[in-house]
Structure 1
């Protein structure tokens, strides 16, 4: 069994049933593996939560890097592209929400996500043609992510695309 399949099972449990459902036994059952199979990859619940958080951070960092081209406003555009890729992809918005929910019970588990947020939103504002607009665009993407984490059916494909195009246009000054 691969780690990602175990993390997927944990995310599904969190998304469907909340933090009380996140037990090693429940994750193993959901993933269709023995508890020993799960423990091989994640020996504790804390290790599992750390895995959820690390995957969210790594995935978002990779997507931003993939879309960034160094031009003015590039980071904010990459941030929007990465956000919408996740929001409209298979993983949807529940991935980060699940990691946040699981990590919220322990400040130590939440620390890597808090550090990533500081890094994601702490980039030099002079990278954008209009630094305030760049911050607004990234915060709007965050807000949309939060809303869709709880109500994924709220916006249809056409409306999401319109929102994305408007946010991208704002990054061009």
Structure 2
């Protein structure tokens, strides 16, 4: 069941509760379990209430994909404007921190594993958005691809191998060392 928001935060709308529930079921049980009935029950709304916001399961999928797009747009802007620098922000945020963005990515991945080509497209568009901003920063596609692959490795280790050798805390000395090494690579490439 979704956790209650902090006392100071406004209660999520019924529409958001439905999307949260759909996302949660996708993550924990997979697409087959994410029926309209199960989603309505998880969200604490009637099936009619769910259908008021999302007229079909396809509409619910589109709502989740729209949420992912919005979260990625916010993340790309955060990468561009990060006080600590775009590479630092990108790598630290490449860990699965169970953020709203992480949850949307995992839920969309579950859909992409099934019969939803639009989900696969949304994940590709997400990667292109991140790639484009990293290219802007480092000025080289191969170097940007390398940084992206490091980010993918960080995410894989934190999402799929928790407690494994490669898992890092975003504020750890180990993460600082990884970022310093990448920054050294970027600086060396700029001098070349």
TM range (shorter): 0.7 to 0.9
Cα separation, 2, equivalents of 1:5 and 1:154: 31
CA offset at residue 144 of structure 1?
A: 2.5
Which has the higher Rg, Structure 1 or Structure 2? Answer: 2
Greater relative contact order (Cα 8 A, min sep 6): structure 1 or 2? Answer: 1
Mapped pair 1:2 → 2:10: no
Residue 90 (structure 2) aligns with: 79
Q: CA deviation at 1:6?
A: 1.6
Q: CA RMSD in A?
A: 3.2
Task: Tell me the CA shift for residue 109 of structure 1.
Answer: 4.0
- Scaled by the length of structure 2, the TM-score of the pair is 0.69
Q: SS of the residue aligned with 2:59?
A: helix
Question: Which residues of structure 1 form unaligned runs of 5+?
Answer: none
Q: Which moved more, 1:56-65 or 1:27-36?
A: 56-65
Normalised TM-score (structure 1): 0.75
| Contact 1:23-1:45 at 8 Å conserved across structures | yes
Residue number in structure 1 paired with 2:155: 145
Counterpart of 2:123 (choices 113, 133, 136) is: 113
Q: Distance in 2 between matches of 1:147 and 1:22?
A: 26
**Any idea what the Cα deviations from partners look like across 1:129-148, whole Å, max 9, x if unmatched?**
77544322222212332343
Secondary structure of the 1:159 match is coil
Q: Do 1:57 and 1:113's aligned partners in 2 also have CA atoms closer than 8 Å?
A: no
Give the Å deviation of 1:166. Answer: 3.4
Q: Corresponding residue for 2:48?
A: 36
Deviation at 1:74, TM superposition (A): 4.6
Question: CA 1:65/1:90 → structure 2, altered by over 3 Å: closer, same or farther?
Answer: closer
**Corresponding residue pairs, total:** 168
Partner of 2:108: 99
Native 8 Å contact 1:97 1:149 kept in 2: no
Residues 29-69 of structure 1, C-alpha deviation per residue, up to 9 Å, x if partnerless?
Answer: 11111011111111111121222222223213202312423
Q: 1:14 aligns with which of 26, 47, 71?
A: 26
SS of the equivalent of 2:169 reads helix
1:76, 1:138 within 8 Å by CA — same for their partners in 2? Answer: no
